[in-house]
Chains A and B, each alone.
Chain A
Amino acid sequence: MITLYDYELSGNCYKLRLLMSFLGIDHKTVPIDFYPGREHKSEWFLKLNPLGQLPVIEDDGLILRDAQAILVYLASKYDPSGKWYPRDNPALLGEISQWLAFADGITATASAARLHDALFYDFDIDAARAGAHRLFRILDEHLWFGEQQGRDWICSAAHPTIADIACFPYIMLSEEGGIPRQDYPAIRRWCDRVKRIKGFIVMSGVFPAGPARAAA
């Protein structure tokens, strides 16, 4: 069984919980006392991940770190529909990788702002917030034109991919870092769509959406 080294308040860990819930994968959780215990910097954990970061998974003897990398692995191995990470579609794989990197940017900005505000990290808060707003503007524009062209998700497929999962948590949690999403209406609508994917689960700070309107 997959073991997830997990912290409830981590958006990066939530990405994996989300995908595993969408795919219906059973897993075991090892809670890591990220704050205030700093267990992710403990000697035993550094042996798992020398970067001292969450999340980490262990599956069939494979130890893997980095949320985006783990999304790629889990979707490749456990998604029989092949939709979350379509290995036979090079253009789509390229797009997904592009947005996985973008998600790293969101982590470096929106998540950093949240760590500053909520867990007292010593970051340049103005730079973090400004950086997040810059990324959110780009994503909002991308999603707005997507809607105009009948595309609901970040990549140009008719279904969500791991790129949507990778970008979602720290956008949803951005207000905890003092980053309002009021000026990003297309992002707000996309968040509703993500929340309506079958199998969606919440985490602390992420609220559920109601059901979509039934087709008349």
Chain B
Amino acid sequence: MLEEARSRWHPIAAAHDLPFRHVFHGQLLGREFAVWRADDGYVNIWENRCLHRGVRLSIGINDGRELKCQYHGWRYSNRTAGCTYIPAHPADAPARTITNRTFPAVERYGLVWSSEEPLGEVPDVAGLAEGKLLALRGIAVNAPADQVVERLKAYRFQPNGAIDGDAAETLIEAAQDFAVALRSRDGAAETLGVFFVQPADSNRSVIRGVLDRDAEGSAHIAVLRHHNERLSRLRDEAERDMANAPAPAPIEPVYERVSAELAEMPELTAHGRKAALRVTVARKWQTADGIAGFELRPIKGILPTFQPGAHIDVHMPNGEIRQYSITNGPGETDSFVIGVKLERDSKGGSKCMHETVREGDVLAISEPRNNFPLRRDAIKTIFVAGGIGITPLLAMAQALNNQELTHELHYFAQGEEHLAFADRLRALGDALKPHLGFSPDETGAELRRVLTGYRNGMHLYICGPGPMLEAARKIAAEQGWPDSAVHFEYFKNTNKIDDSSSFEVALARSCVTLQVPAGKTILQVMRESGIDVPSSCEQGACGTCMATVIEGEPDHQDVYLNDAERKAGTKIMTCVSRAKSARLVLDI
């Protein structure tokens, strides 16, 4: 019976067991769950072990958006259960394979239902209408579920309307493997009680009773006490019997190492940029002058995990591909919200998004990729945003705001009407510092003021138009900020690419040597030889196609690497950069 029980839905908690900012400790068929309700109401049911060291997540911290493990502080996102931050690796974006196993959650009849491998939907229970029910206190019993069900068939109770009486007749209305429906009548009073038995383990069960109606006023507590008392008695009798019988061996749950979907290698395609996801434009709105906001919802299933700083490729109806940062706050995983600025000299990207794409349209997007990860170990973080450069920094500021980490968001824009995502900005409170209508010189002076007072442990994140970004980086350097504390993201690479060189590229892992002729990129040549390398912007701005250089001297033409990284010569953007030496050896 228990083997078959895996495919059924079982109640694992009462809805009232899941207040906000709490983690409930549940169990079904031997498998433990960490169950938590996010601030957006979503109920997460996860395997109760941190993917890092196996510590129970049920002792973790529910911060309303993410669940933090108590042991080493790994953070997992609402809904996706993907890891968003590893404190011991503050500069890195966690791999997508670090995703905890999730189980389906449905709230119905005042209970929270789940299943290991559910067939079909949560069953309809005859006689229980949603809305006016009364969920009783769950009673844990140290006895197998089938024995508890047998005892429940003989359970007797008074209907709500005659709770003080003692003359009720209780009839079995239905009985199944894990539930008994009983109707109690006393004169005109009548109550239907459905008693579900949750098989927590081979020898542990929880009786979760639901009555078909609530009772008003003081009768409410009286009814709850009535059942609590009688069900506790039933429990004591069941446990007394079990005391003499040998306890069955506990059920050993099977732990998946990593889900099949995550374990698979992505499909090989001739085209390097993949749009694995389909989303609908749930909402399109003018979020600021010249900036359209798009809310993208998955057509089915849930969206993958993102971290602040991550971007997606949007594949547009006109065939163009553009990168947009995800502006969402942590744990906000039901949709991706992006902001698109209409560029005057648009080559079709932003124009298409503004003029062609409408609400209800379907778009193909890539999985989120994070080449602009946010450290959360800074003593203070300063964000400098110019115009539409607000988008990645907005996601970052919301993450730090949620964790109450010190930060300032300096937002440079032409005027009030150019400030995008006003509602999200408002939620940041005093951390938001708008700087409006400044000329380039005034911006420089303001930046000098903002960037004074560097102390070891502070970090700076900059995103904005090229000239402003250059100025900010220069001023930061003048004010004593080391390269390692200054993080930036360009929208695009405005360098004129010189692709006149030709050279040899040896791919050490693939054991292939290729010739890169003038006019072709390393990336193109690798793809033509069937070597799949991820890429996104393909103009040296986003960092997706970065490779490690083992030997040779790179000819950097990107805007992703900082000066120290360029000098070190150990990384290269294969989409634009080339070789100064005759030969490059890459770790691919």
Q: Chain A residues in contact with chain B, CB under 8 A?
A: 141, 144-145, 147-149, 181-183, 185, 188-189, 192, 207-213
Cβ B39 vs Cβ A210 within 8 A: no
**A185 contacts which chain B residues (CB < 8 A)?**
13, 17, 24-25, 138
Cβ B62 vs Cβ A210 within 8 A: yes
Tell me which residues from 37 to 72 in chain B have a Cβ below 8 Å from any Cβ of chain A.
39, 58-59, 61-64, 68, 70
**B68 contacts which chain A residues (CB < 8 A)?**
210
Cβ B25 vs Cβ A181 within 8 A: yes
Taking the complex as formed, is B276 at the interface, i.e. its CB lies under 8 A from any CB of chain A?
A: no
Cβ A213 vs Cβ B21 within 8 A: yes
Known: A144-B137, A207-B59. A188 touches B25 (CB 8 A): yes
Taking the complex as formed, is B158 at the interface, i.e. its CB lies under 8 A from any CB of chain A?
A: no
Cβ B61 vs Cβ A209 within 8 A: yes
- Binding site of B, secondary structure by majority: helix, strand, loop or mixed? mixed
Nearest 9 interchain pairs by C-beta? A183-B140, A210-B61, A213-B20, A182-B25, A207-B70, A210-B63, A185-B17, A213-B21, A144-B137
Cβ B59 vs Cβ A148 within 8 A: no
**B27 contacts which chain A residues (CB < 8 A)?**
182
Interface residues contributed by chain B, number (CB under 8 Å):
33
Q: Give chain A nearest CB distance to B198 CB in angstroms.
A: 11
Taking the complex as formed, is B19 at the interface, i.e. its CB lies under 8 A from any CB of chain A?
A: yes
| A216 (CB) vs chain B CBs: closest residue | B39
| B229 (CB) vs chain A CBs: closest residue | A141
Q: Chain B residues in contact with chain A, CB under 8 A?
A: 13, 16-17, 19-22, 24-27, 32, 39, 58-59, 61-64, 68, 70, 137-138, 140, 204, 206, 220-221, 224-225, 228, 232, 404
| Contact partner, A189, options B19, B26, B225, B232, Cβ 8 Å | B19
Q: List 18 A-B contacts (CB under 8 A).
A: A144-B137, A147-B16, A182-B25, A182-B26, A185-B17, A185-B25, A188-B22, A189-B17, A192-B22, A207-B70, A209-B21, A210-B61, A211-B21, A212-B20, A212-B21, A213-B20, A213-B39, A213-B64
Known: A210-B21, A211-B21. A148 touches B228 (CB 8 A): no
A208 to B70, CA, bound (A): 9
| A192 (CB) vs chain B CBs: closest residue | B22
A149 to B137, CA, bound (A): 13
A158 to B228, CA, bound (A): 25
| B39 (CB) vs chain A CBs: closest residue | A213
Cβ B22 vs Cβ A189 within 8 A: yes
A185 to B64, CA, bound (A): 19
Cβ B61 vs Cβ A148 within 8 A: no
A145 to B26, CA, bound (A): 20
**B138 contacts which chain A residues (CB < 8 A)?**
185
Q: Give chain A nearest CB distance to B543 CB in angstroms.
A: 33
A210 to B58, CA, bound (A): 13
Known: A207-B59, A213-B20. A145 touches B25 (CB 8 A): no
Cβ B224 vs Cβ A148 within 8 A: yes
**B220 contacts which chain A residues (CB < 8 A)?**
148
**A144 contacts which chain B residues (CB < 8 A)?**
137
**B63 contacts which chain A residues (CB < 8 A)?**
210-211
| A188 (CB) vs chain B CBs: closest residue | B25
| A144 (CB) vs chain B CBs: closest residue | B137
| B26 (CB) vs chain A CBs: closest residue | A182
Q: Give chain A nearest CB distance to B332 CB in angstroms.
A: 15
A149 to B27, CA, bound (A): 27
Q: Give chain B nearest CB distance to A82 CB in angstroms.
A: 29
A144 to B404, CA, bound (A): 32
**A192 contacts which chain B residues (CB < 8 A)?**
21-22
Cβ B140 vs Cβ A145 within 8 A: no
| B68 (CB) vs chain A CBs: closest residue | A210
**A212 contacts which chain B residues (CB < 8 A)?**
20-21
**B58 contacts which chain A residues (CB < 8 A)?**
182
| B235 (CB) vs chain A CBs: closest residue | A137
Q: Give chain A nearest CB distance to B246 CB in angstroms.
A: 16
Cβ A145 vs Cβ B221 within 8 A: yes
**B25 contacts which chain A residues (CB < 8 A)?**
181-182, 185, 188
A180 to B241, CA, bound (A): 22
**A145 contacts which chain B residues (CB < 8 A)?**
137, 221, 224-225, 228
Q: Give chain A nearest CB distance to B502 CB in angstroms.
A: 58
Known: A182-B27, A213-B39. A148 touches B221 (CB 8 A): yes
**B22 contacts which chain A residues (CB < 8 A)?**
188-189, 192
Q: Give chain B nearest CB distance to A156 CB in angstroms.
A: 14
A34 to B59, CA, bound (A): 28
A207 to B228, CA, bound (A): 31
A144 to B227, CA, bound (A): 14
A181 to B58, CA, bound (A): 11
Cβ A188 vs Cβ B21 within 8 A: no
Q: Give chain A nearest CB distance to B444 CB in angstroms.
A: 38
**B404 contacts which chain A residues (CB < 8 A)?**
211
Besides A188-B24, A209-B21, 14 new A-B residue pairs in contact (Cβ under 8 A), listed by A number: A141-B137, A141-B228, A144-B137, A182-B26, A182-B27, A183-B140, A185-B13, A185-B24, A189-B19, A192-B21, A210-B63, A210-B64, A211-B21, A213-B64
